[in-house]
Amino acid sequence: MADSNQVENEPDAAFWQMTDKFIGFANEQAASNELGVVNASFLFASARFNTFLIATQCGNKETFEAEKAAALEYFVNQYKIALTEHMADYQAKFDTYITASS
C-alpha cells in the first residue's frame, strides 16, 4: 500500500481538506438522521472504499487474496491509532467540545 506512508508520516493540505469535507458531510447528515446511523454508514463506506483501494493496488484476485490479511491488519491498526488520538483529545477538552456542540 504505497500511498499510505504519506498519511502516516505527514498529511498534506489535501488530506486535511478532504477530512474536513467528510466530517462536514457527516455533520450535515446528522442534522436529519440518527448519529448511530450516520456513524454506521460512514464506517461502512470507509470499509468499502478501503477494500476497493486494496483490490486496485493488488491488480488481480490472487494478489488480493494473498494481501488481504496484511491489509486488514494495517487498516484496523490505523483506525485504532486515530481513534485513540481523538479520544485523548476529547478527554482533555471534553467540556469545551461538548458544550460548544450542544
Q: What is the pLDDT of residues 35-55, one digit of tens each?
A: 999 999 999 999 999 999 999
User: What pLDDT does residue 5 have?
Assistant: 46
Calculate helix-pair angle for 35-58, 13-30, nearest 10 degrees: 140
Q: Where are the domains of the chain?
A: 12-101
pLDDT score of 100: 65
- 59-75 mean pLDDT: 97
Q: What is residue 25's predicted lDDT score, i.e. its pLDDT?
A: 98
pLDDT digits (tens, 9 = 90+) for 80-102: 999 999 999 999 999 999 986 65
CA pair distance 77, 17, nearest whole angstrom: 23
Residue 11 — pLDDT band, cuts 50, 70, 90? confident
The Cβ of residue 44 has, within 10 Å, a number of other Cβ atoms equal to: 10
Q: How far apart are CA 72 and CA 94, in angstroms?
A: 31
Instruction: Flag whether pLDDT at 8 surpasses 80.
Output: no
- Is domain 12-101 annotated with CATH 3.40.50.300? no
